[in-house]
Amino acid sequence: MTRVEAEQALFNERLYHDATLAALNQPGKPYIVLNATDMAGGQTFAMVPRRFDDVCSKYDILPVATAVSASAAFPILLTPVGFRNYSEDCQGRLRDGEWIKVDLSNPYTPYLNLAEYRDARYSNDLRHGPNPFRQINYLNFLDGGLADNLGTQSLRSALIASYDDAQVLHAINEGKIRRLVVIVVNARSDPPNKLYQQPQQPGVVTQIQAVTSVPIDANTANSQTALSALLTEFAQAAAGAGNQAKFGGMQVYGITVDYDQIPADTPAHRALRDAAKDVPTSWTLTGPQLQVTEEAGRFLLRRNPCYRALLADLRAAQGFMAGEDKALTIPCTTKVDIPKRAGPVPSS
């Protein structure tokens, strides 16, 4: 039994009890996306029904423990989780592929929406479609953080892509969503590094640890930038809609929760920041570590100017802890107001 198989068995015994992804794919439940990284190509492989359609596999029967292990297979420490691609034996029976043909046949797609073009090309490769960029028969998955540790790619797909399983864009286009709240949480561990105090060169083990962890940390560091880029793209897509669009007047609130936002203006705040950043990346947390994590998250969310803007727009009363009132003077810079559309001018 490999290390990752042992991890799957432990997850299944302690947490998931033979549950499959069918338990997550039900109306009325939160839409959960588990991301893994395709080891060979570096793309994000989202554990969602449409991606399983690409490889002609059944989403509903995959054990949750396997999906979680694939999304958290830290390189070197754990072996990759392997999947077989069955699509070559499934030609003519793969559903929902029209968007792929449209995007790949349109010469303007790579310039107008490069991210969607790459997504279409990856789906075409997985489906063994015409003129594939890569011939993919087997997939090996590592930690999803290698490609997208904040999950903003899945958020982008849900908000902008008409083919996404979450159907958020469909609800937006139908005018069913008046306020959309996007929260990006960056809770990466960032304890003091002893290398800064050591004159000797790092050893091989230390270098391997850096090679495997630094890319994930670098992916995570710019949470505010990632959120701003996502909301800018969403606003641009909304601006291109015609006057018949039903989502005019919708408000989008982008909220970033990041330990680096905890101020160092008081000893208590500094202690909270340092304690939160010192919580390790681990499957288990001690009682004090859990308490610090909850306190930091609550403090940051309640202090966030865009969260306050949301509460103000909802006219919701909210009590704040000491020291949080300073955020009242900071404007919300990641809020998007979609203008109301003028109706068609009647002909005379």
Q: What is the pLDDT of residue 97?
A: 82
Say what the pLDDT of residue 345 is: 47
CA separation (Å) from 125 to 40, 131, 269?
Answer: 13, 8, 50
Beta strands in 115-271, from DSSP E residues, in sequence order: 138-143, 179-186, 251-258
By the 8 A CB rule, do 262 and 186 touch?
A: no
- Cβ contact 290:284 at 8 Å: no
pLDDT at position 348 is 45
Residue at 196: amino acid letter = Y
Q: What is the pLDDT of residue 82?
A: 92
The pLDDT of residue 56:
92
| pLDDT, position 204 | 66
Quick: pLDDT tens for 146-161: 777 777 788 888 877 7
The sign of the torsion formed by the CA atoms of 128, 157, 171, 31 equals: positive
- Note the pLDDT of residue 75: 79
Looking at beta carbons, which pairs linking 176-180 to residues 24 or more positions away fall under 8 Å?
177/247, 177/250, 178/249, 178/250, 178/251, 179/250, 179/251, 179/252, 179/253, 179/310, 179/313, 179/314, 180/250, 180/251, 180/252, 180/253
pLDDT on residue 94: 72
**What SS3 state is found at 225?**
helix
Q: Which residues of the chain have pLDDT under 50?
A: 345-348
User: What's the pLDDT tens digit per position in 21-76?
Assistant: 999 878 888 888 899 999 998 899 999 989 999 999 999 999 999 999 999 888 77
d(CA 253, CA 335): 5
pLDDT value for 122: 94
Neighbours of 178 (CB within 10 A): 11
Distance set, CA 251 to CA 53, 66, 140, 156 (Å): 33, 37, 40, 17
